[in-house]
Structure 1
Amino acid sequence: MSIRIRRVYEPPEPQDGVRLLVDRLWPRGVSKDAARVDEWPKALTPSTELRRWYHAGEGSYEEFARRYEAELAVPEAAELLEHVRELAGKGPVTLVTAAKTPDESHAAVLARLLG
């Protein structure tokens, strides 16, 4: 199973495989053609409230990750997680995000849960 994380601002590469946008909002300054996103599973993204809480600096990354994992336990998100696992079983999957530090973002939490 191959799951990787890349910033949406980086040009797509052939080894990306299936590209999933894992942000709730479309990234600024990137056209849909340039992003080359195959799927946009919004139910896998952090809620607006959690995203705002984290970006306001009100909590640690560890607390954010714990709260985000709780959000991913709901049935709709759990089904999408299974879908992504199935995709990754067939070939590479790239989680695409606009996060400035992908290793400390929701994309890293998703990659860990999927791996």
Structure 2
Amino acid sequence: MPTRPSVPAAPADRIRIKRIYRAARISDGRRILVDRLWPRGVAKDRARLFSWERDIAPSDALRRWFHAHPDLWQDFVTRYRAELAARDDLVAALAGQARDGVVTLLYAAKDEDHNNAVVLQDCLRRRLDGVPTT
């Protein structure tokens, strides 16, 4: 029988990020894909998702803009945070899941430091710590 992953005491530490191409682990907790498009080459059964939250991903327009301008990271962060503020119900739902246990936000981007999951993780951590996200 699989064991439940240990849950960090601090809720903000329960939000992790990981490329979807890396193997699923029990320690991932709830695996949530936060990309608008399904990742290439990933079979749905292999992904082992709890859910696919495409509506919390950057809008198609913002996603395309950032793809064309990867050097404008801070502008992307600002724009995506504005989109997240308009989707507060989705952000609140994800934060609620992190209060219950470990949540791993999955993304497909090659750049592990500059992608939407990094921004979303920071936004969720701030929310759980009671810090304003705007």
Give the TM-score normalised by structure 1.
0.94
Residue type of the alignment partner of 1:92:
V
Any unmatched runs of 5+ in structure 1? none
The match for 1:105 is: 115
Any unmatched runs of 5+ in structure 2? 1-10, 126-134
Deviation at 1:57, TM superposition (A): 1.7
Q: Secondary structure at the match of 1:68?
A: helix
The match for 1:48 is: 60
Q: Percent identity?
A: 46
Deviation at 1:80, TM superposition (A): 1.0
Give the alignment of 1:12-51 within 5 angstroms. 12-51=24-63
How far apart, in 1, do the equivalents of 2:42 and 2:53 lie?
18
CA contact (8 A) 1:5 1:102 kept: no
Bigger Rg, structure 1 or 2: 2
How far apart, in 1, do the equivalents of 2:33 and 2:104 lie?
9
Q: Secondary structure at the match of 2:119?
A: helix
Residue type of the alignment partner of 2:92:
E
| 2:114 pairs with 1:96 | no
In structure 2, relative to structure 1, the CA distance for the partners of 1:55 and 1:89 (3 Å cut) is same
How far apart, in 2, do the equivalents of 1:103 and 1:95 lie?
14
Greater RCO (Cα-Cα under 8 Å, separation 6 or more): 1
Number of matched pairs: 113
For residues 80-109 of structure 1, the C-alpha deviation after alignment (integer angstroms, 9 at most, x for no partner) is: 111111110111000001011132111000
Residue type of the alignment partner of 2:79:
R
- Alignment root-mean-square deviation, CA: 1.1
CA contact (8 A) 1:21 1:41 kept: yes
Deviation at 1:59, TM superposition (A): 5.4
Q: Which runs of 4+ in 1 moved over 4 A?
A: none
Give the TM-score normalised by structure 2.
0.81
Deviation at 1:13, TM superposition (A): 0.5
